[in-house]
Amino acid sequence: MQGTIRQTARTLLTELRESPFSLASIIVAAIASAALFTFLSIADEVDEGETERLDQAILLFFRKPGNPEQTIGPQWVRESAIEFTALGGIPVVTLLIITVLGFLAVERRWGAALFVSIGILGGMLLSTSLKLFYSRPRPDLVTQLDVIHTKSFPSGHATITTCVVLTLAVMLIRLTDNPRGRIYIFVMAVIYALLIGVTRVYLGVHWPSDVLAGWAIGTFWACLCWVAMTLLQRWRDGRLRFERP
């Protein structure tokens, strides 16, 4: 009886690995769907003004009562927030992209380079397009402590950072078979994205709903690219075939 159960389990695992729509792909696709739904829900509530009260309350939480120019906490926290938030800016992200793509080109890993290009550059284009479409003004409730030139919704820092860290995390995760190593990489990627997003609110340059929407749409895009590239790789390896009924 136990032998039959083990054999059935092995057969099922083999079919999942060889299937074009593996278990991992299904899970990632489900996460992408949930993230897209979350983004659209937030966008709808922002458009109707339903997030205004909560946005204002959270934004004021990070400022001293009666003084919207002063952030809570000591001076070093404010200085650290400014430095941390710069890690999600276009100059730093661009340098990171050039560095990673250069390394992949030297190693002749063209598939990985394509994945990084679509995942990160596509995320940047998506963020810019959504900002132009929604055209939400930046917060004017508190003093803004960072230089800004674009619209507010969704947060470009949150969107792009999420795309970058998830894309690079996928590449690193594939380099190790150690479950603890994979968990560590994923957790650090999430912490990095969360840190950048929170600093945008702390510095008063984004409404909290901007950041939440950025995390959601960034997750959607990164997951979508992962599923697309996985299916493309399986097709290239001959494991993905679409036969006529």
Instruction: With respect to residue 54, please indicate whether it lies within any of the assigned structural domains.
Output: yes
Residue 178, in any domain of the structure: yes
What gap in Å lies between CA 240 and CA 21, rounded to an integer? 9
Considering the domain boundaries, does residue 9 fall inside one? no
Domain membership flag for residue 35:
yes
Within a domain: 2: no
Query: pLDDT at position 245, please?
Result: 38
Tell me the pLDDT of the chain (245 aa) as tens digits. Answer: 445 545 554 554 454 444 445 677 788 888 999 999 999 999 999 998 899 999 999 999 999 888 888 888 889 999 999 999 988 888 888 888 888 888 888 888 887 788 788 888 888 899 999 999 998 999 988 888 887 888 889 998 999 999 888 888 887 887 778 888 888 988 999 999 999 999 999 999 999 999 999 999 999 998 888 887 777 776 666 654 444 43
Helix, strand, coil share of the chain (percent; to 5): 70, 5, 25
Domain extent, residue 167, equals 24-63+71-235
Euclidean distance between CA atoms 134 and 137, whole angstroms: 9
* Distance between CA atoms of residues 166 and 27, nearest Å: 15
Rounded distance between C-alpha atoms, residue 81 and residue 94, angstroms? 20
Backbone angles phi, psi at 98, to 5 degrees: -60, -40
Contact 95, 198 (CB under 8 A): no
Rounded distance, CA 83 to CA 105, Å?
A: 30
Task: Please give the tally of structural domains in the chain.
Answer: 1
pLDDT for 150 equals 83
| Residue 71 CB-density burial (10 A; 0-12 exposed, 13-18 middle, 19+ buried) | buried
